Amino acid sequence: MAVAVKSVEQICREARLASRVLARTPTGVKDGALEAIAKALEDRLEEILEANERDMQAGREADIGDALLDRLRLDEGRVRAIAAAVRQIATLADPVGEVIDGGRLPNGLDVRKVRVPLGVVAVVYEARPNVTIDAAALCLKSGNAIVLRGSSTAANSNQALARIAAEAAVAAGLPEGAVSLVAGGGREELAELATQREYVDLIIPRGGESLKEALQAVATVPVIYAASGNCHVYVDAAADLGQALAIVLNAKLQRPGVCNAAETLLVHEAIADRFVPVVADALAEAGVTLRADDRAHALAAPVARERTEAATEEDWSTEYLGPTLAVGIVASVEEAIEHVGRYGSGHSEAIVTLDAAAARAFQLGVDAACVYVNASTRSTDGGEFGMGAEIGNSTQKLHARGPIGLRELCTFKYLVEGDGHVRA
C-alpha cells in the first residue's frame, strides 16, 4: 500500500500502473480479493476499533458535534456490516466487458459498445471511515485502482482500514497500488491530488460545501460531486395520513445527519389541520425543532410550542443534518413542485399520496436524482438499491446521477472487427 512518505504524484503514478493490470484482471480474482478484504476486516476488528476510538476521543475533545461523531463512529456491528457489504459487492455481476450495444454495420464491420473501467478513481471524503472500504470494494470490482484521501478527523481509522484492505487485496493477487491512501497534508495536498491529470481519471468528493468549493477552485481532473441533500417530503391532500406520519418520521429521524434525511416537510392545505398537529407532536417528542411558516406555525405551536419557531427564507434552503425540520403549507401539488424546484438540491424528493395523477405530476415535475412516491427519502443508498454499497450520491446529470455504484465507475469503448475493411 502507498504510505505517507510517498509524494501524491508517486502514489497516483503507482495507481495508474495498477489500473492497467486491474482492467484485465478476471472476475474470479477480483471477487477473491473482496472476500479476503471482508475476512481481514472481521479478523482485525480489534485493531480497527482501537484506531477508531483514538479518532472518537480526538473528536470529542474538539467538540465536533453529535452528527459528525455519529458518522465517525465504528463499532462491531458497523464493521461487520461493512464486511457484509464487501461480500455483497463480490456477488454482483462484473460490469467490465458488458456489451451495452452492438451489431453488424451495412459494410460488414462488427461493432460492440462494451463497458470498461475508468482507470484511477480518487475519493476525497470527510469523517466517514466506512467510505474507505465501500469505495475500495466498488473500485476493485469495477476494475479501477483507487486513491483515498480522508479527513484528519478520521485519520487513524482510515489508515487502519486502508492498510488492511490493501494488504488483503495484494495477498489475494491484485497489484500493488490498487488501493492507496494519501494521508497528512492540507489543502495544498488536496490541490496536488486534484491536478494529477496524467494519472487520475476521476475525483469523487464526499463532504460539505467547503470541500466542494475547495475542489472547484483547483481541480483539473474531472469531478463528480457527491452533493449535499436538501430533501423534501410533500404530504398531498390524498395521502394516507398514517402512512405519511411513518414516512416523515423515518425520513427525518432514522439518521438525521446524512444527505438523504428530510430537511423540509410540505403539507397540502386541505389536510393541514388534521396532519400538522399530529406530526408536530411526534417530531417534538423526538426532539426535533420545527421552523414553520405562518400557517404551519399556527397549527403546530399549540401542541409543540417549545419546539416551534418561525421560518425564515434561509430555512427553506438549509441542510440541517440534525434535529431541525422546516415545515410549510402549500395549496397544490404544483406549488409543492415549485417549492422543491426553487430550494431543493436535486438529491431525493418524496410525495405521499393515493392520487395517481398527483404522484405522476410530482414524478415528472421534480428534477432530482431520486423521486419517491409513498416511500422515505432515506432509501437513496447504494446498498438499499442493490448495489452493495456506494461511493456517493451524485446530483449531477452527466455520466452519473444518484447512487454511484459499479456501472457508474465505468465508461465504455467500441470494439470494432473487420475483414480487411478500408473506408471508401
284-to-154, 307, 317 alpha-carbon distances in Å: 33, 6, 21
What the block records as the C-alpha cell of 399 is 455520466
Terminal Cα distance for the chain, rounded: 52
Q: Which fold has domain 231-379?
A: Aldehyde Dehydrogenase; Chain A, domain 2 (3.40.309)
CB atoms within 10 A of CB 373: 16
Residues 199, 9 contacting (CB under 8 angstroms): yes
Measured CA to CA, the distance from residue 417 to residue 325 in angstroms comes to: 58
Name the phi and psi angles at 113, rounded to 5. Answer: -100, 110
Q: Is 174 left (phi over 0), alpha (psi -120 to 50) or beta?
A: beta
Q: What is the pLDDT confidence band of residue 209, given thresholds at 50, 70 and 90?
A: confident
Helices (H), 350-389: 356-365
Proportion of the chain above pLDDT 70, given as a percent: 98
pLDDT, one tens digit per residue, over 325-373 is 999 999 999 999 999 999 999 999 999 999 999 999 999 999 999 999 9
Proportion of the chain above pLDDT 90, given as a percent: 83
Q: What is the pLDDT confidence band of residue 227, given thresholds at 50, 70 and 90?
A: low
3-state helix, strand and coil shares in percent for the chain, rounded to the nearest 5: 45, 20, 35
pLDDT of residue 4: 44
pLDDT above 70 (res 3): no
pLDDT, one tens digit per residue, over 228-277 is 799 999 999 999 999 999 999 999 999 998 899 999 999 999 999 999 99
Domains of the chain, by residue range, sit at 8-226+391-417, 231-379
pLDDT, one tens digit per residue, over 117-162 is 999 999 998 888 999 999 999 999 999 999 999 989 999 999 999 9
Q: Which of 66-75, 188-197, 385-394, 406-415 has the lowest mean pLDDT?
A: 385-394
Q: What is the mean pLDDT of the chain?
A: 94
pLDDT of residue 78: 97
345-to-259, 335, 337, 367 alpha-carbon distances in Å: 10, 17, 13, 9
What the block records as the C-alpha cell of 397 is 446529470
pLDDT, one tens digit per residue, over 68-113 is 898 899 999 999 999 999 999 999 999 999 999 999 999 999 999 9
Q: Which fold has domain 8-226+391-417?
A: Aldehyde Dehydrogenase; Chain A, domain 1 (3.40.605)
DSSP run (H or E) holding 166: helix 155-171
Q: Which of 2-6, 15-19, 147-151, 156-160 has the lowest mean pLDDT?
A: 2-6
Point out which residues pair with 371 in neighbouring strands: 349
Nearest one of 363, 341, 365 to 350, comparing CA atoms = 363
Point out which residues pair with 112 in neighbouring strands: 102, 415
pLDDT above 70 (res 278): yes
- In 105-251, where do the E strands start and end? 110-117, 120-125, 145-149, 179-181, 202-206, 231-235
CB atoms within 10 A of CB 217: 10
Residues 268, 260 contacting (CB under 8 angstroms): no
- State the residue for C-alpha cell 497528512: 184
Q: How many CA atoms lie within 13 A of 204 on its CB side?
A: 30
